[in-house]
Structure 1
Amino acid sequence: MTSTTAFYPIGTSGVPWGQTEKQEWLSRQVRHRSYADEVLARIERLRGRFDVEEYGRLDYADGMYPLCAIRNPDWRDDLPMALVTGGVHGYETSGVHGALQFVEQHGADYDGRANLLVAPCVSPWAYERILRWNPGAIDPNRSFRGNSPAGESAALLGLVAPLLGRFVLHIDLHETTDSDETEFRPALAARDGKPFEPGEIPDGFYLVDDSENPQPEFQQAIIAAVEQVTHIAPADARGEIIGSPVVAPGVIRYPLKSLGLCAGITGARYTTTTEVYPDSPRATPAQCNDAQVAAVRAAIGYALAH
């Protein structure tokens, strides 16, 4: 029997969720938007200019979701390869639409210069429900490892597996939102039976570098491009952003691969995770998409030049 806790309405404080609690959580989720209309339709319009492939299909109780990737045409084995991913967390809207906008506006710029592989919406079920997790209450962005429990993560790993060793760049597009603090972090604490410790949401754009392969000049090239579009998140009073030390303006570091994060899947020399703040009074949805596009362009430009 579950009871309401002080910080989340599902489960018993201090006790990790079982299947009953996960089913209760799932029963509360509501579809708010259409992956077919908002994402697949845009991808379909790219056919002819780009190669589109279905790299997997998620078959959930309330629907089936094709997973699509976009490639620029005429791939060549002698060209460097760049991976762009968005929507690993489905609620992080500018990751999805920023990736699509990049392809629509700039994908053709790299013909003959780089092989582009873009997976704009890794988690379509969560995109529709504006959620962080998949239906099993699993975070895909902690699940990029062998025998992944998340179908979203397993499918993307399968897409890149034949290409490992060829990537020079992977940029994974994310957002940090106010709902991280009001919903998703409390839910995580409740699911895992841990106390919820309130944090602070940074106001602005920042990047997550790889602590196991830091590339500070690469990260700063992206920051320099993005600050022409939107503001960069400052460090808090402790010199941190979301609990991690700020190592350069707008940059923190995580061990990407060991945490099972998407940006750690390729072994590329240049990797980063973008974090846009869409709830800022200083940023519009269009600015958030534009910031993601600026980040991708700067990342690819730097990788190709170095």
Structure 2
Amino acid sequence: MRSSYTYPIGTPGQKWGDAERIAWREQTTIKREYQQEVVPKIKALAERFNVEQYGALSYDPERYPLLCIKSKQWDAAKPTVLITGGVHGYETSGVHGALLFADEQMEKYSQQFNIIVAPCVSPWGYETINRWNPLAIDPNRSFYANSPAEESANLMALVATIEGDVLVHIDLHETTDTDESEFRPALAAREGIEYIEGMIPDGFYTVGDTENPQPEFQAAVIASVSKVTHIAPADEQGEIIGSPVVQHGVINYPMVKLGLCGGVTTCTFGTTTEVYPDSDKVTNDECNRAQVAAIVGGLDFGIEQL
């Protein structure tokens, strides 16, 4: 494992200032287009669901409208479900898995739930295939009051409009090889700390909330996904990405304390999914369908609790 690494931007041991953040942003490039790959899929659902704009990114408001999909059969007596994807824009199956769920499963589950799907919280990150936003801020560490990330602030504003409690929140993510080849080294450089190489788990896992772990709910999600793709094993230390495995394929994080999207509601049942798209055992379609399976497993469990 590498314990010494020099990132091409910044001075080792010193936190980034504005100049380094600008240098980082200037080396990013557009690699795919939100308006071509995501927005048309959202708008195609407008006949079956309510498609609403809940904000826009100031970097380019016309290019980056923030869109959500809501079930039409909205009923205050029903519990509410929130599905989020693309908080880290580069995590592709989070975006397209959310859209696939909306297309194939959302009508069915709208009979029991009010459902809101925000499929691409960070469209600039989607286009540039980045974990951060243009200010070198991680939206998934920025879900707190007066957030410095407008991606997070806009989603929190959307959540604030939800009447009543959210029963289920499923936040769709990926863990990729580029986490170790690019994003974690960049984080160490930005913070002026040493980069210690970690290990990417081969397979799907979930992250529950340390303060509200709901192990039976997590197990239902894992069981559903295991029908589609393989579940990540624990490493030799009994961990996944440095956290203890509390049950097969499950670790826990303190969602609110870390400013994670998984803590954006006070839901009863919540999980963050982690697909591994770089495995030679899966296809892109299987990654998308693993995300759908996670949602379906979680919602089926939720129905049993009603």
TM-superposed CA distance for 1:216, in Å, is 0.3
- List per-residue Cα deviations over 1:79-112 (Å, max 9, x = no partner): 0100000000000000000000000011110233
d(CA) in 2 for partners of 1:164 and 1:210? 23
d(CA) in 2 for partners of 1:163 and 1:32? 34
- Partner of 1:144: helix, strand, or coil? coil
d(CA) in 2 for partners of 1:89 and 1:192? 19
TM-superposed CA distance for 1:64, in Å, is 3.7
TM-score (norm 2): 0.97
Q: How does 1:148-159 map to 2 (within 5 A)?
A: 148-159=147-158
d(CA) in 2 for partners of 1:289 and 1:99? 8
Count the aligned residue pairs.
Answer: 302
| 2:208 counterpart letter in structure 1 | D
8 Å contact from structure 1 (residues 207, 273) kept in 2: yes
Aligned to 1:242: 241
- Partner of 2:106: helix, strand, or coil? helix
d(CA) in 2 for partners of 1:185 and 1:148? 22
Aligned to 1:98: 97
d(CA) in 1 for partners of 2:291 and 2:82? 14
Q: How does 1:162-173 map to 2 (within 5 A)?
A: 162-163=161-162, 165-173=164-172
1:225 aligned to 2:224? yes
Q: How does 1:63-212 map to 2 (within 5 A)?
A: 64-163=63-162, 165-212=164-211
TM-superposed CA distance for 1:62, in Å, is 9.5
Identity rate, percent? 57
d(CA) in 1 for partners of 2:179 and 2:110? 38
| 1:302 counterpart letter in structure 2 | F
The unaligned stretches of length 5 or more in structure 2 are none
- Partner of 1:169: helix, strand, or coil? strand
1:305 aligned to 2:304? yes
Q: How does 1:32-47 map to 2 (within 5 A)?
A: 32-47=31-46
- Partner of 2:108: helix, strand, or coil? helix
Distance 1:232 1:176, change over 3 A: same
d(CA) in 1 for partners of 2:127 and 2:116? 23
| 2:243 counterpart letter in structure 1 | S
8 Å contact from structure 1 (residues 84, 172) kept in 2: yes
- Partner of 1:83: helix, strand, or coil? strand
8 Å contact from structure 1 (residues 164, 267) kept in 2: no
Distance 1:63 1:133, change over 3 A: farther
Distance 1:61 1:161, change over 3 A: closer
- Partner of 1:16: helix, strand, or coil? coil
d(CA) in 2 for partners of 1:302 and 1:260? 26
Q: How does 1:248-287 map to 2 (within 5 A)?
A: 248-287=247-286
Aligned to 2:47: 48
8 Å contact from structure 1 (residues 165, 268) kept in 2: no
| 2:154 counterpart letter in structure 1 | A
d(CA) in 2 for partners of 1:260 and 1:228? 31
- List per-residue Cα deviations over 1:169-199 (Å, max 9, x = no partner): 0000000000000000000000000100000
| 1:38 counterpart letter in structure 2 | E
TM-score (norm 1): 0.97
- Partner of 1:46: helix, strand, or coil? coil
TM-superposed CA distance for 1:303, in Å, is 1.2
1:10 aligned to 2:9? yes
- List per-residue Cα deviations over 1:139-179 (Å, max 9, x = no partner): 00000000000000000000011226420000000000000
TM-superposed CA distance for 1:271, in Å, is 0.5
